[in-house]
Structure 1
Amino acid sequence: MKKRTIAASLALGTTAVLGLAACSPPGSSSSAETLDNGDKSVVELAVFNGWDEGIAASWLWKSVLEDEGYIVNLQMADVAPVYSGLTTDDYDVVLDTWLPTTHADYVEQYGDDLTDLGAWNDDAKLAVAVNADAPIDSIEELNANADLFGGSIVGIEPGAGLTTAVQDATIPDYGIDALELQTSSTAAMLTELKSATEAGENIAVTLWSPHWAYDAFPIKDLADPKGTLGDAEGIHSFGGKSFTSNFPQLTEWLEGFEMDTETLSSLENAMFNSGVDGSDYTEVVDEWIAENQDYVDGLTS
């Protein structure tokens, strides 16, 4: 699973509300509900709070689709409400489903009303990460060195799949009873990670890749010899209950969507090191698109 000036992004977090409804773009009329390609003109694109790879991919597709005449509303939400909302068409699509492990429970629960549009990245993984100079290299060593990390593992949102995996598998399987998993938000975790690494202090956090933190901070993943966090996963796009009928063309485009980790990291770093406040990445993304035009043109070719 994955990867700013950093201080500005962390202070405001990547969970800023992004529910932006654009004015009618070129190629559509203010009253039109359907585009010439047969798709509904308005796309409600759900974005998981704090999941930077999904935020980056969603802003990319927002720009791409608005150039094609769509109106794209980015709707920030926590993981569980997104899957429920997809089944009722409150959201049309989400680009950040990790399978076969992280979001498997949600897909099992709501799968009859969801459409898997395929994986666009196959190099996603969950991890417990520590500062690069920490004197341990494996989760097996964590409990015996609890004092080094203040008796805590700094986590992210309570409802995240990563949190569930650490709580239900990693902690019991390794017999971790000397450290407590502290959950709050991804932004809060990154703030603590930044503070600790700048101060030369030890810290253990739950993290995933691709994520820009691996480029920004001196950190390393702890080995997981018991495999409690699973193998590398695929990041899938999932459509909601009526997605394929409402968006036949977009269905085809997303089914063909591919983005390797290097390209994704490039986009994330451009966005999250841009110094913008997190509410509008339009200009940054458009600049990135101009530098990667051949790749972007292929998304809708």
Structure 2
Amino acid sequence: MKFPWLKSLAAAAVAALALTGCTVGESSEKLDNGDEKVVDVAVFAGWDEGVAASHLWKTVLEEKGYTVNLHEADPAAVYTGLANGDYDVVLDTWLPITHASYIEKYGDKIIDLGAWNDEAKLTIAVNEDAPIDSLEELAANADKFGNKIYGIEAGAGLTKVTEEEVIPQYGLDKMEYAISSTPAMLTELKAKTKAGENVVVTLWRPHWAYDEFPIKDLEDPKGALGGAESIHSYAAGDFETTHPQLAGWLKGFKMDSETLYSLENVMFNENESEDYAPVVKDWIAENQEYVDGLTK
């Protein structure tokens, strides 16, 4: 090679691209509709509504020639990644409460593609036949629930709200708050409802657990958990330029809770594998009219 430094420069560029998960030319390849072929979707680990929606869109888009990469991460990493352009979109932003701090911090670098579900709510749930109906009754009856509240991931907005608002407002500081993971919480919920035992868990709507287990929400007269929320799609700041067609589709995306429950059920409840592709394809075949409308 006449100029060996050029070879070194090229190698360095390839290495830099490799660190970001891209290959040379991949990010610039476009489809006939003007969108970049590759879509990097961030997914909150354990947030089943976002996992379900992301896998649905992955299947729909791959049938149209896109390459869709799903990246599991906690909310802090997701919003940092969106702001930096490491991810293209996340489908699970809860507003106006749960993820408000991230939008306040990164809002000038990311864009809101709109809400696709407006029936979201953070909850504290118990077994349906529990002897109480309100969070105001929980402290006095803590021993009936093993003095324990089963929570989800440490970085979740629900965990923060429970720690900072629910526990102090309702005097639950003497109960053990077991912060672990969504799968661990659901395992406890399944085992205790099956055994006919009382149980308290942090949960949220929409979630397939409400269809699967005999549970009810505890009333929240102090409003510690906040009101109803909407689930939004948020994207990197240049998304409407890099993926104009997909941006339009996501702006029109709507999914009510009943439709979401049915998808979540086949993915997480009726399916014993973590390979969601076959069951999502089957669900699409049974809901073809709805799915076809996603990309019109």
- The normalised TM-score by structure 2 is 0.89
Correspondence for 1:134: 130
Hey, what's the Cα distance between the residues in 2 that align with 1:99 and 1:228? 15
Q: Which amino acid aligns with 2:254?
A: E
Contact 1:136 1:142 in 2 (8 A): yes
- Residues 1-301 of structure 1 correspond to what in structure 2 (within 5 A)? 33-278=29-274, 280-301=275-296
> Equivalent residue of 1:112, what SS?
coil
- Unmatched tracts of structure 1, length 5 or more: 1-20, 22-28
Q: Following TM superposition, by how much is the alpha carbon of 1:32 offset from its aligned partner in structure 2, in angstroms?
A: 6.6
Contact 2:110 2:237 in 1 (8 A): yes
Describe the superposition over 1:232-259 as per-residue Cα deviations: whole angstroms up to 9, x where unpaired. 1100000023222211111100000001
Q: Following TM superposition, by how much is the alpha carbon of 1:290 offset from its aligned partner in structure 2, in angstroms?
A: 1.0
Describe the superposition over 1:25-77 as per-residue Cα deviations: whole angstroms up to 9, x where unpaired. xxxx9897111111110001111100111111011100111111100011111
Hey, what's the Cα distance between the residues in 1 that align with 2:266 and 2:27? 35
Contact 2:271 2:279 in 1 (8 A): no
Q: Following TM superposition, by how much is the alpha carbon of 1:292 offset from its aligned partner in structure 2, in angstroms?
A: 0.9
Describe the superposition over 1:85-136 as per-residue Cα deviations: whole angstroms up to 9, x where unpaired. 1111111100000101111111111111111100000000110101111100
Contact 2:193 2:213 in 1 (8 A): yes
Contact 1:274 1:284 in 2 (8 A): no
Hey, what's the Cα distance between the residues in 2 that align with 1:80 and 1:32? 28
In structure 2, the CA distance between the partners of 1:37 and 1:183, relative to structure 1 (3 Å rule), is same
> Equivalent residue of 1:129, what SS?
strand
Q: Give % identity.
A: 65
Hey, what's the Cα distance between the residues in 2 that align with 1:167 and 1:177? 9
Describe the superposition over 1:272-296 as per-residue Cα deviations: whole angstroms up to 9, x where unpaired. 2332421x21111111111111111
Hey, what's the Cα distance between the residues in 2 that align with 1:300 and 1:155? 37
Moved more, 170-179 or 54-63: 170-179
Contact 1:193 1:205 in 2 (8 A): yes
Hey, what's the Cα distance between the residues in 1 that align with 2:295 and 2:161? 36
Q: Which amino acid aligns with 2:69?
A: N
> Alignment RMSD, CA only?
1.6
- The normalised TM-score by structure 1 is 0.87
Q: Which amino acid aligns with 1:292?
A: N
Q: Which amino acid aligns with 1:286?
A: K
Hey, what's the Cα distance between the residues in 2 that align with 1:259 and 1:114? 23
Contact 1:62 1:72 in 2 (8 A): yes
Q: Following TM superposition, by how much is the alpha carbon of 1:167 offset from its aligned partner in structure 2, in angstroms?
A: 0.9
Correspondence for 2:13: none
Contact 2:26 2:38 in 1 (8 A): no
- Unmatched tracts of structure 2, length 5 or more: 1-20
Contact 1:43 1:92 in 2 (8 A): yes
Contact 2:42 2:87 in 1 (8 A): yes
> Equivalent residue of 1:189, what SS?
helix
Which of the pair has the greater relative contact order for Cα pairs under 8 Å at 6+ separation? 1
